[in-house]
Amino acid sequence: MPSSSSPDALAQEARFVFKGTVQKLKAATMGGIPVDNRTAVVRVDEVIHAPEALSHYAGQNITVLLAGKKKFKKGQQAVFYANGLVFGESVAVQAVDHHDVGKTPAAMAVAGGDPVKNLAVRDIQARLTSADVILSGRVTSVRVPSDVVAAKSAKSAGLADPTVTGPISEHDPVWRIGEIQVDQVHQGTHTGKTAEVRFPDSQDVMWHDAPKFHPGQEGFFILHKSEKVKVAAKSAPTKDAGEYVAFHPVDFQPFDEPGGIRNLIGLSD
């Protein structure tokens, strides 16, 4: 990762951002980790943002697989951008990059608040930035895409149906389409009174945290055009794909969710 990468850009790649101090070089806090000149024991001084599993490591030593060829020395403090790699008696993380504390924006260099919530807010901000449409409204119905219905009927009859792309795998998203009654459009352009949103209804680990819509849900929908989202095209219907797709955990925010999105899109509570 180039050293010129901005903190904001790095934060999009890293789930675990923390201020830390190098304790040992060519060392690890747990067995089974190959140790070389890019392996270090780092004390986590402050957690800036993190998933739940990595949010409680402040004050502890962890193993960091350092990125690039930048030289480190014992006692050096930096803001590390990393992702979880190995969990055991300790934890090892793979660094994407690091910035010297003095060169890191104050908002990133000082943790403050709940690191899990900090990560959630960061995720929402990223999704808001990339969204084609942000709207508020209510789910009125959920249906099976007509392509999927046709494919099941064809399979029962011993025929192949070409309208569903790709074979069904163990990670099948189990696509459904929710119809949203649109109350207000907050970003982008949507002219209809309703919007069709494709979402994965599977409880598989790959899709477990994705929004699962049901009639009566009310909130904010952070939506991306179906044809633009490659990661969500897995086994996607081709004739009845929905206008938009929602698969990221933050793509739906209930009205009663405390704080967060209302401020981010400029609404008062």
Q: Is the pLDDT of residue 259 over 60?
A: no
Q: Is the pLDDT of residue 160 over 60?
A: no
d(Cα 259, Cα 261) in Å, to the nearest integer? 7
d(Cα 180, Cα 219) in Å, to the nearest integer? 10
The pLDDT confidence band at residue 169, using thresholds 50, 70 and 90, is low
d(Cα 193, Cα 181) in Å, to the nearest integer? 6
* Mean per-residue pLDDT, 248-265: 77
In this predicted structure, what is the pLDDT of residue 1?
Answer: 42
In this predicted structure, what is the pLDDT of residue 153?
Answer: 63
In this predicted structure, what is the pLDDT of residue 38?
Answer: 92
In this predicted structure, what is the pLDDT of residue 128?
Answer: 87
In this predicted structure, what is the pLDDT of residue 151?
Answer: 64
Could you tell me which CATH class the domain 131-264 is placed in?
mainly beta
Could you tell me which CATH class the domain 7-122 is placed in?
mainly beta
In this predicted structure, what is the pLDDT of residue 66?
Answer: 93
Q: What is the average pLDDT value for the chain, to the nearest integer?
A: 83
Quote the tokens at residue 216: 């009566």
d(Cα 72, Cα 127) in Å, to the nearest integer? 34
In this predicted structure, what is the pLDDT of residue 137?
Answer: 96
Quote the tokens at residue 96: 């994407």
CB 207 within 8 A of CB 247: yes
Q: Is the pLDDT of residue 224 over 60?
A: yes
Type of residue at 66: L
Type of residue at 204: D
The pLDDT confidence band at residue 249, using thresholds 50, 70 and 90, is confident
In this predicted structure, what is the pLDDT of residue 6?
Answer: 63
Q: Is the pLDDT of residue 252 over 70?
A: yes
Identify which of 1-5, 77-81, 144-148, 240-244 has the greatest average pLDDT.
77-81
The pLDDT confidence band at residue 59, using thresholds 50, 70 and 90, is very high
In this predicted structure, what is the pLDDT of residue 125?
Answer: 82
- List pLDDT tens digits, range 84-130: 989 988 999 999 988 888 765 555 544 457 888 888 788 888 888 88
* pTM exceeds 0.85: no
Pinpoint the residues of the chain covered by CATH 2.40.50: 7-122, 131-264
SS (H, E, C) 119-187: HHHHHHHHHHHHCCEEEEEEEEEEECCHHHHHHHHHHHCCCCCCCECCCCCCCCCCEEEEEEEEEEEEE
In this predicted structure, what is the pLDDT of residue 11?
Answer: 63
